[in-house]
Chains A and B, each alone.
Chain A
Amino acid sequence: MLAVENITKKFPGVVALNNVCMQLHAGKVNAILGENGAGKSTLMKILSGVYCEYEGRILYKNKHVSFTCIKDAQECGIAIIHQELNLIPYLTITENIFLGREIINTWGFLDKKAMRQKVQSLLRKLKLDVEPDALVADLKVGQQQVVEIAKALLTESEVIIMDEPTSAISEHEVEVLFAIINDLKKENKTIVYISHKLDELFKIADTFIVLRDGCAVESGEMAGVNNDTLIQKMVGREIKVMRKQAAQYAHREELLRVENIGLKHRGKSGENILTNISFTLGKGEIVGIFGLMGAGRTELVETLFGLHPKRFEGEIFVEGNKVKFKSPADAIDAGLALVPEDRKKDGLVPGLDVKKNISLTTLKDLQVGGLLNENKEAELAEKYIGELKIKTSSHGQMAKNLSGGNQQKIVLAKWLAKGPKVLMLDEPTRGIDINAKNEIYKLILQLADAGLGIIMVSSELPEILAVSDRILVMAEGSITAEIPVSEATENTILKAAIPKTI
């Protein structure tokens, strides 16, 4: 149905896809697997016409096609349902589904009746029991996803690409989605299903292809493989890190203690995003925090960093002293640092150069007589470029021109320059290549050995297991388990991470 031949796509500093070949079959669910940053999304963006510059070619129904825009791909019958849903919240379901292809009556006005009827039949087919006039904003995430599927069906798409469709929906909604997918299969549609939830894929997928570091490393029938082989293919190699000597800090001095931390819900009064979180962090200790999406991991580190002072409950102690953070500046003064989850949005100033990004937290120390000293600043930058092996042409290079891994190192450098006691890392290796990942693990261990207390939030189990001394598992805003790494297995962690109330 759809074949990809020798596709290569390069971004500044990183090869996102390297000579990938792939066959997609009609009437089947074709799974694409891979870790974060393996190149799944890039490949899908090429198939759906978002990226039009690449090497290699795409064959569709045995004809060579090249899409110059999303509309091209749509008209050919390829629809993509993005991980972040592309719906307009304050338009109705009908308006969303017909957006850009409205039915016009003879007077040149919108033919609302015709559109509504069409949507109604689509919704019935997809067993979504809501009115076509309902606002998308009022729907649950799972329902919104079905609306996206309806959008794809409206254009009679032959190929429907679903990018992590179950990342934000409940188990029941997943079942509904799978029923819909099975129906679509019967209509001989080609389904492309991207996920890294393996159990799901065994339920729904027929064929698979594994991407790793931009290469297609394995493909075949789902029936012929098991869980372990797929994991091995995805990860490729074990995460190689030298375990530090646990004995070195056997009598740990307490660095950070939090008691009964809570975070109130922004909108709904009486509800909490975080409830009753207590834990301690010792000098030289690495505490891994694992949780599924929506467990409250990011909210926890944000709260600890003073980002939500008005909705905060509980007590924080740094080295035994009670502290109260009204802003990140207070938290920084107390010796905390946070490498945020989304480095582009919260970590970097992309339009400033490497040097200015690194010095952002320590400008106070780089002044001479009230003016910034450029030599001192450059020295600081060079020091960290060397120590963290940041690959950049010079410290004057714009931060936005660096690869993800190197950008992450800049954010790290910014905090290391500040000399924190507690370093919080939120998904420190998201979207960066395997080598940079290993370098960052090594660095984390070195820092712990140097006496820092480290909190590492991650949704990647192998990473959590490899680096942490102790693992806290979160679900629904609470800590559901605390496991020393010696007793932790993927199973025990996952069991504690799955929400109970759905």
Chain B
Amino acid sequence: MQALAKSTPESNMKKYGSSLAKFQSLIALVILCLTISLLSDKFFTVDNAWNVMRQISVNICIATGMTLVVLTAGIDLSVGSVLALAGAITAGLLRNGIEIPAGNLYIGFTLLGAVVAGLLTGALLGAFNGWTITRFKVPPFVATLAVLTIARGFTMLWTKGFPISSLGENFAFLGTGWFLGIPLPVWISGIIVIAAVVVTNKTRFGRYVYAIGGNENAAKLSGININRIKIAVYTIAGGLAAIGGIIVTSRLDSAQPNAGITYELDAIAAVVIGGTSLSGGRGSIMGTVLGAIIIGVLNNGLVLLNVSPFWQQVVKGFVILLAVMIDKANSKND
């Protein structure tokens, strides 16, 4: 708070306090883990650790994209539906290909082709979000809410309401396989996280994302092409949701028309627990990862402790509330 702050005791306190705030979610996680391992001997095992990591990898994919969106002071409610559609497209193409009755044409898809098509679907829907938000100034909440419905509708149309299953061993490997002793989904989400950390901290694009969320007017007057950055951010969010969709589909060996419902809420929860401000400009990818892990560990712990799923939801809700309340209390001191 001090303009001329040399190291006064007060500014030291502040510095100490703010770094404490940075680590508070980490501390919360440690306390959470200790508590659960005291109550259940199944928690602190290698198997369970991988289990948790694999479970949260999808949320980490989505929440990473969501973090970028939220940093620009936006929100993306469509990711759950986008995940479902991308998964369904990939599964459908892989299993059935495309038949065009008019030309008596059949196009088959390789594994790679189907996955790429799924990713493009997600990126395209994300770009559409970005386009309506920047070109027509539709508030992000509304624009992505519309796409939430649109993408779900397309998923139903594409799958005709039935799961698309039996997708082959190779495809199943993506979601269930191991590589160098680590589950493949954990590799995928890990690489995404590392890339996102580098992008947010080390690139011009990342800096612009923070600047736009911090003060859009100033960013615009500094010559930053706001629209281009925002469209890119929503496109990335859509693409990452699609990756999540492919992982989910592969793990279940089936594309469910109802896949991903309320996943956007888990992603947003991870983002806010991780300390990213919904008003934009402040937050980090690693915070979000921590947030996702907290949610994952909490879910896992509650299951291990035989807490009823109904109570699990109640607890999760209160944890989100608590996290944001603590965050607000901290930023008020700023």
Contacts and interface: CB of A to CB of B under 8 A. Distances in A.
Contact of A371 (B203, B210, B211, B222): B203
Nearest to A340: B221
Interface stretch (B2-10, B21-29, B118-126, B174-182): B2-10
Among B2, B4, B218, B219, the most chain A Cβ lie within 10 Å of the Cβ of B218
B149 interface: no
Contacts of A307: 221
Nearest to A332: B223
A360 interface: yes
Contact of B198 (A14, A364, A371, A397): A371
Contacts of A378: none
A13 B2 contact: yes
Among B204, B207, B223, B225, the most chain A Cβ lie within 10 Å of the Cβ of B223
A223 B131 CA distance: 64
Interface residues of B, number: 28
B211 A352 contact: yes
B197 to A, nearest CB: 12
B214 interface: yes
Contact of B3 (A338, A346, A406): A406
Given A345-B217, A364-B204, A393 B225 contact: no
A359 B203 CA distance: 13
Given A352-B210, A352-B211, A363-B204, A329 B223 contact: yes
Interface residues of A, number: 40
A363 B214 contact: no
B1 interface: yes
A364 B222 CA distance: 13
B224 A401 contact: no
Contact of B214 (A331, A332, A346, A349): A349
Given A13-B4, A367-B204, A391-B4, A349 B218 contact: yes
A402 B5 CA distance: 10
A414 B282 contact: no
B281 A12 contact: no
Given A328-B221, A360-B211, 6 more contacts: A351-B210, A352-B214, A356-B207, A363-B208, A370-B203, A406-B3
Interface of B: 1-6, 11, 198, 202-204, 207-208, 210-211, 214-215, 217-225, 281-282
Interface of A: 12-14, 305, 307, 327-329, 331-333, 338, 340, 345-352, 356, 359-361, 363-364, 367, 370-372, 391-393, 397, 401-403, 406, 414
13 contacts: A12-B3, A327-B223, A328-B223, A333-B223, A347-B221, A350-B214, A356-B207, A360-B211, A371-B203, A397-B3, A401-B1, A401-B3, A402-B3
